[in-house]
Amino acid sequence: MKIGFLQFNPVFGDKNKNFATVEKLLRDVDADIIVLPELFSTGYTFLDKEEVTKLAEPGDRGKTSNFILSLAKEKNCCFAYGFAEKDNQLFYDSMALISPDGLIGVYRKAHLFFEEKKFFQPGDTGFHIFEYKNVKLGMLICFDWIYPEAMRTLSIKGAQIILHPANLVTPYCPDAMITRAIENRVFIILANRCGEEKRDGKNNKFIGQSEVVSPQGEILIRVGQEECVKIVDIDPSLALNKKFNQYNDLLKDRRENLYFR
């Protein structure tokens, strides 16, 4: 299976320009699953709730989902991407998974970071498994990474590949994904954005460093700050083997009766 990420520097509030950049970067790309960054269509640095209200959209019938569905059909590829979601006058930092056949699922970010709490509701979807081409996929967004329970939950439920859009501004996550991949025996696609976003005195500088990590903790590909698409060929069945050695199975050896006592 060919999997990978698209890393770029979105323009705040200009969905059409961001769509055009994505199309350009994907022009000659052939893949099964591609992950785009968190909030890729809107940008990240909101100044007030009015901007969120203007730019947010439903997960299943918005401008962004229509664009991605068209792209999925054209490329015969499944896309995971971050967007600002509106649902019954509530707003979420969400991601969706769309195949050539349509929407597979939506996940809402559980662990909001910094000023995201001013604009979005904490996610209420929980952590679920979605399937594409008989491969089990889990979804997390950015700061969810720092809570090991989130990825462990997906691993216990059978995830083989973790799809992880991000807007990382701190340096820790890319290296931490090595540990997360090893302890859960999963592939991880981290799709971060790059560049800076300066708006009315606010300045966010994003670290880039998007990557794909194997269940053995091997960095299959990691990039720097450039706009790019990177694809690697993997065997998803490797993530079904949770054995650390001949005596230890990382999931079966869990001592649930001793945790949180």
Residues marked active site are found at 38, 109, 142
Q: Which residue has the tokens 């979605």?
A: 130
Torsion sign across C-alpha atoms 210, 214, 215, 217: negative
DSSP letter for each residue of 203-225: EEEEE---EEE-TTS-EEEE--S
Closest listed residue to residue 91, CA positions, set 128, 129, 48, 35 = 48
Q: How far apart are CA 96 and CA 56, in angstroms?
A: 13
> What would the two tokens of residue 59 be?
């997960």
> What is the end-to-end Cα distance of the chain in Å, rounded?
41
Q: How far apart, in whole angstroms, are the C-alpha atoms of residue 40 and residue 17?
A: 11
Residues counted in the chain: 261
